[in-house]
Structure 1
Amino acid sequence: MSESSFLDRTRAGYDSIAPAYAAHFADVLHADPWARALLTAFAEEVADTGPVAEFGSGPGDTTAYLAAHGLPIRGIDLSPAMVDLARRAYPDIRFDEGSMTEPDLADGSLAAVVSWYSLIHIPPAERPGVLGEFHRVLRPGGRLLLGFQAGNEVVRHNEGFGRQIALDFHRLAPDEIAAALETAGFTIDIRFERRAMRPGESTPQAALMATRSS
């Protein structure tokens, strides 16, 4: 699968389901104290260090949560429909269209990067390039927070909220992602894993926080 095809399919899928997706997941952070704890700790850790970007910001809820905790954050998403929803829901936060495969950001321009359940759409062959881009846009000592479903399989959804889509969800093995981050020039700071324990979950959940090496 070419880069353009997986990006096109991901963009089209989320454009198609954007309003229903935003409504369905509107309370997901409220229902997950572990996710809130991780995001809050991250916000405190990177406070006052400089600009922050969330890649794969979707309808903007996670970006807004981090902004409410004091971070000067912007959201970047592949889907124009998602960006439009985020702009309307959170008009005081900047949201832009863009891809984590080729972010339109200068080298070392960010103090922190968040990819909260968005790396799951990147095929394995493209993943080192994305982690390399995160490294590029972060300044030395900058922080990266990744959230993802843990596992090894790929789940293809051909239908979502009554719409035909073609979205691939890659479950990610924490050991493999940690090793890939180290190869990309990061030092792992924190590793979090838990079993599926919230309503609607079918897989374990994981998060990694890392620091960009000098």
Structure 2
Amino acid sequence: MKANTSQQKDLIAGIYHRIAGEYDERIPGFTALDATFSDTEISFVLDRVTADDEVLDIGCGTGRITIPVAHRAKAVTGFDLTEAMLEQAARKAAEANLDVRFEQGDMAALPFPDDSFDAVVSMLALMHVPPADHPRVFSEVRRVLRPGGRLIIGVKNSVFERFSSADRFATVDITDVENKELVFTGTREGDELRAPWHSFSPDDLKRLTAVAGLVPVSLRGNIPLSAWLADSVLETAEVAGAVRTLETLLGDLPPLNHLGYHLLMEAVKPAVHS
């Protein structure tokens, strides 16, 4: 029997409680392609965050994105479903002498006042949100954003999955495309853990932002060329460098951006006009 929304959230929280202490060993992976993926992702975020911004990172996990953003922004809040992941993030923030606020909760019911943040960031985490909650999450993001504020997200691309089930990032965590699950293999406990996982197409993102009242301004495909190439091809530094240069130049342009392994999107809350 298929789990309901509440059961799915409990399952996800339980899994991340169990792997919180090893999460940073699993992400961002170990290959040159993993590094390219992460560099593109973090650059996309940091290019859209300023020193005057108050930023909310939803589904922040152990602070993989929160910590770099905190080095740049005026103030940062990390928000996650799982307390154990937040404890890891808080430890890293303290070690870096960063003043970051962390709160636990459900991103479908954000515990923040209207117009609280200049930017809301979410990398990878939206894919664990049950589909029934997607419209509510985007609506909540719009609510807590100030006019002119930005939503900056990264999600797995379902268009890529129509052609390939290959894992191109952090392959110790395997995307089971057919069953819509993320499989955590080789855990310290020795168990294989399965969490619900929902990818998005460019059209999905356009629809969700439009319904919430947000305006998409940028869509980038993450590794839109190298995701389709064999690892053996990318082992040559000259080839990998040329592919990376092309991806940097063309990653924002359709149709190439629609073919990325993941999608990176920025959407804006319209300014209020008197």
In the alignment, does 2:97 pair up with 1:83?
no
- How far does the alpha carbon of each residue in 1:128-169 deviate from its partner, in whole angstroms, 9 at most, with x for none? 000000001101110000101101655224654233534111
Q: Is the 8 A contact 1:192 1:207 kept in 2?
A: yes
Q: After superposition, give the CA deviation of every residue in 1:48-102 in whole Å (9 maximum; x if it has no partner).
A: 4431010011111211111223452121111111011111122132222122111
Normalized per residue, the structure richer in strand is 1
Contact 2:181 2:196 in 1 (8 A): yes
Name the counterpart of 2:104: 97
Verify the 8 A CA contact 1:156 1:166 in the aligned structure 2: yes
Structure 2 vs 1, CA of residues 24 and 35 (structure 1 numbering), >3 Å: closer, same or farther? closer
Compute the displacement of 1:197 (Å).
6.1
Change in 2 beyond 3 A, CA 1:143/1:19? same
Q: Does 1:167 align with 2:200?
A: no
Match of 1:25 among 17, 22, 27: 27
Report the equivalent of 1:205.
262
Structure having the larger proportion of residues in helix:
2
State the distance in 1 between where 2:70 and 2:76 align: 6
**Runs of at least 5 residues in structure 2 that lack an aligned partner in the other structure:** 162-176, 232-259
Question: Are residues 1:155 and 2:189 paired?
Answer: no
Match of 1:8 in 2: 10
1:131 aligns with 2:159: no
Cα distance change on mapping 1:157 and 1:147 into 2, 3 Å: closer
CA-to-aligned-CA distance 1:13-56 (integer Å, 9 cap, x gap): 1001111222221567x943454345335434331443101001
Distance 1:141 1:22, change over 3 A: same
Cα distance change of structure 1 residues 42 and 24 upon mapping to structure 2, 3 Å threshold:
closer
* RMSD value, Cα: 2.6
| Count of residues paired in the alignment | 211
List alignment gaps of at least 5 residues for structure 1: none
Larger radius of gyration: 2
Q: Using the TM superposition, give the Cα deviation of residue 178 of structure 1 relative to its aligned residue in structure 2, in angstroms.
A: 1.7
Q: Does 1:187 align with 2:189?
A: no
Give the % identical residues.
Answer: 27
